[in-house]
Amino acid sequence: MPEKFDVIVVGAGPAGTSCALVCAQNGLNVLLIERGEYPGSKNVMGGVLYRKQMEELIPEFWKEAPLERPVIEQRFWMMDKESVVQFGYKGLEWGVEPYNNFTVLRAQFDQWFAKKAVEAGALLINETVVTECIVENGKVIGIRTDRPNGEVYADVVVLADGVNSLLSKQLGFHKEFRPDEVALTVMEVINLPKEKINDRFNLEDNQGCTIEIFGDSTKGNLGTAFLYTNKDSLNIGVGTTLSSMIKSKMKPYDLLDYLKTHPMVKPMLAGGESAEYLAHLIPEGGYRSVPKVAGNGVVVVGDAAQLVNAIHREGSNMAMHSGLLAAESVIEAHHRGDFSESTLNIYRQKLYDSFIIKDLEKYKDATHTFENNPQYFKEYVPMMNKAMSKFFTVDGTPKREKQKEIMKSVTAERGTIKVIQDIYRAWKAVK
């Protein structure tokens, strides 16, 4: 007699664990399957975890979760070869309860989070790959794993199998991604003593800082770099769309080293020691790439459903919230005793009514616009740097004349009409 669960969740990342936790809390019999040695061992994130969506799952989680630092300052760098234009926000309100977001190291955080689901009653099985969904009469009824006699059955299978989501492809929910729908990102964790981090980033005690770096950090390609403070290490990483990486024939690790040795970045890392190097894909296709998310006996959550807002570097929070919405829908389906697509479409409805799809919809043209118009990163960032340099260099030129010169050099480089078009296009993409 094969084993049967109420719910099988494939993947113990933020989306899967959230779903498993809430289902288990509501008395459902949950199997949570993870292919890694432990939850988090296959997962990579730049490092920002938002408080709001996590708190909805575990109130006051910050009192016990393995977090690095609460972020009190977010900086943005528009970087050229030997200069940078900076802006940002620092606020002490982010350093006290209830906080805004935290830096985390995922291998530790995910293990802790999965333990919470286990404490709520979910059964966690590690080191097991789900090779396919078992489909019968157009309905998913279970999964096949790479273990001997590894078939397990359930009323609902939740696909939280990450960006590559081979399982939702097997079901035909989405086609293979194009290289412009994913960002290839590499990062290093660099050990550095706490005092040095605090001095360099102008922080006290456990305060954290994040820096997003645009422009020369990707050699002008569509993408960003980041530098985040952990307790006694830094996460530095850089990513571009896979299509940009291919077009420019860049080796991702060379780009990372270019960033690490950039004159604006190098002093921040001085004396540090590399502790880990990690590569991962980020689903950045946005609204138009979101696949079918519910079928007969199955729902798709998190990265597997492409739920990432690349513009605001939000992903794990969307994963968690989608996991929660999926759980609520599965619980409702359980009460009805009906796991058909039409009932599980409650999840789809909830997802599309939530901030997740609303935000993805807002930026639905952004990736496409910036991918097809490389001037934003390649030309405007250097232009901004030159303008600032000119404006703040005191050389006896009256300020009004300087302003004129700056405007002239911008329109001379791109042409007045093009500049107006560029501004309109960018505004349209993010409005």
Partner 1 sequence: MSTKNIEEKQYLLRFKADTKSHLTVMDNDICMTKCPDKICTIFCPAEVYKWEGLRMQVGYEGCHECGSCRIGCPYQNIKWEYPKGGHGIVFRLA
> Least distance from C-beta 362 to partner 1, angstroms?
26
Q: Which is nearer to partner 1, 189 or 307 (CB)?
A: 189
> Least distance from C-beta 237 to partner 1, angstroms?
9
Q: Which is nearer to partner 1, 42 or 321 (CB)?
A: 42
> Least distance from C-beta 40 to partner 1, angstroms?
7
> Least distance from C-beta 248 to partner 1, angstroms?
10
Of 190, 225, 191, the closest CA to residue 211 belongs to 225
> Least distance from C-beta 423 to partner 1, angstroms?
33
Rounded to 5 degrees, what angle do the CA atoms 78, 82, 85 make? 25
230/233 Cα distance (integer angstroms):
5
Q: Which is nearer to partner 1, 273 or 338 (CB)?
A: 273
42/39 Cα distance (integer angstroms):
7
Structure tokens at 73: 């300052």
Phi, psi of 40 (to 5 degrees): 100, -20
Q: Which is nearer to partner 1, 61 or 226 (CB)?
A: 226
Structure tokens at 188: 């290093």
Let me know: does 330 contact 156? Beta carbons within 8 Å. Answer: yes
> Least distance from C-beta 317 to partner 1, angstroms?
17
159 - beta bridge partners?
10, 300
Neighbours of 417 (CB within 10 A): 9
Taking CA atoms, 47 is separated from 91, 208, 210, 275, in Å, by: 19, 11, 9, 15
Q: Which is nearer to partner 1, 246 or 430 (CB)?
A: 246
Write the CB contacts of 271 (distance below 8 Å, at least 6 apart in sequence).
192, 196
431/426 Cα distance (integer angstroms):
8
231/329 Cα distance (integer angstroms):
38
316-336 and 355-362 helices, crossing angle to 10°: 130
> Least distance from C-beta 300 to partner 1, angstroms?
16
R_g of the chain computed on alpha carbons: 23
Q: Which is nearer to partner 1, 15 or 242 (CB)?
A: 242
Which residue is associated with the tokens 């911008």? 410
Q: Which is nearer to partner 1, 37 or 60 (CB)?
A: 37
Identify the DSSP state of 400. Answer: H
Instruction: Give the binding site for partner 1 (CB under 8 A).
Output: 35-37, 40-45, 47, 105-108, 126-129, 145-147, 163-164, 166, 176-179, 182, 184, 186-190, 233, 235, 242, 245-246, 249-253, 257, 260-261, 266, 269-281
Q: Which is nearer to partner 1, 266 or 404 (CB)?
A: 266
Q: Which is nearer to partner 1, 81 or 251 (CB)?
A: 251
Identify the DSSP state of 192. Answer: -
> Least distance from C-beta 342 to partner 1, angstroms?
32
Taking CA atoms, 84 is separated from 67, 78, 384, 385, 386, in Å, by: 30, 6, 9, 6, 10
Identify the DSSP state of 376. Answer: I
> Least distance from C-beta 163 to partner 1, angstroms?
7
Q: Which is nearer to partner 1, 239 or 382 (CB)?
A: 239
Of 137, 155, 154, 134, the closest CA to residue 145 belongs to 134
> Least distance from C-beta 125 to partner 1, angstroms?
9
Question: What's at 388, amino acid-wise?
Answer: M
